Amino acid sequence: MKSLGLGILGSGRGSNCRAILEAIRAGTLPARACVVISDVIDAPILDIAREFSVPNAYLPPGQFRTRLEPNVESELVRMLRDAGVDLVVLAGFMRVLKAPMLEAFPRRIINIHPSLLPKFQGLQAWKQALAAGETVTGCTVHYVDDKIDHGDIIAQRQVPILPNDSAETLHARVQIAEHELYPAVIAQLCAKTS
């Protein structure tokens, strides 16, 4: 089985990054973490990368709030290629990727989202599911395209919404499902490319 080189992008706490790195360390995910990159200089995901001795970098995002400036996105492509990345893994990366990345890594960029897409795209999807009176939510791993939380679905995991759930308790259970599903999906992608 080929060991895929992963480039992990994140903007925040990095809990999915930790789950992936722990699976690699445990030998259940036959991949290599080549680099972790964040658009937030003090993001905890960079501390997690250092804890696991994974090369990491801060990428100054530029002036836009929801996307990277074109020259910055081209620099991101260069950084990922220089690190030997085969698969780009978004782990809480809060920017929409555009042509430079999508053309450089066609169908090789994946994301995890805390809902059963296509329902509840965007921020805090678990809160959206609660507010809508849903009885089930979950998480989705999908290929990334140029739209928000869109693209071909690879896998989903359901999480029941309990009668006494708060946003916090539901989010905690969705994250448990994410931490199981994301490394498993990456392992499946490794098996397909071997």
Domain that holds residue 94: 4-192
Task: Please tell me the distance from the alpha carbon of residue 87 to that of residue 104, in angstroms, as a whole number.
Answer: 11
pLDDT at residue 192 in the model: 84
- Taking CA 12 as the corner, what is the angle to CA 61 and CA 157, rounded to the nearest 5 degrees? 120
CATH of the domain at 128: 3.40.50.170
pLDDT of residue 76: 97
Q: How many domains does the chain have?
A: 1
- 10-residue averages of pLDDT along the chain (194 residues): 87 97 96 97 98 97 89 97 97 94 97 97 94 97 93 97 96 98 96 77
Q: What does pTM read for this prediction? A: 0.95
pLDDT at residue 62, as a whole number: 86
Q: Please give the pLDDT value at position 1.
A: 52
**Cα 105 → chain centroid:** 15
Asked if 150 is an active-site residue, the reply is no
pLDDT value, residue 78: 98
Which of the following is catalytic: 113, 142, 171, 179? 113
148: left (phi over 0), alpha (psi -120 to 50) or beta: beta
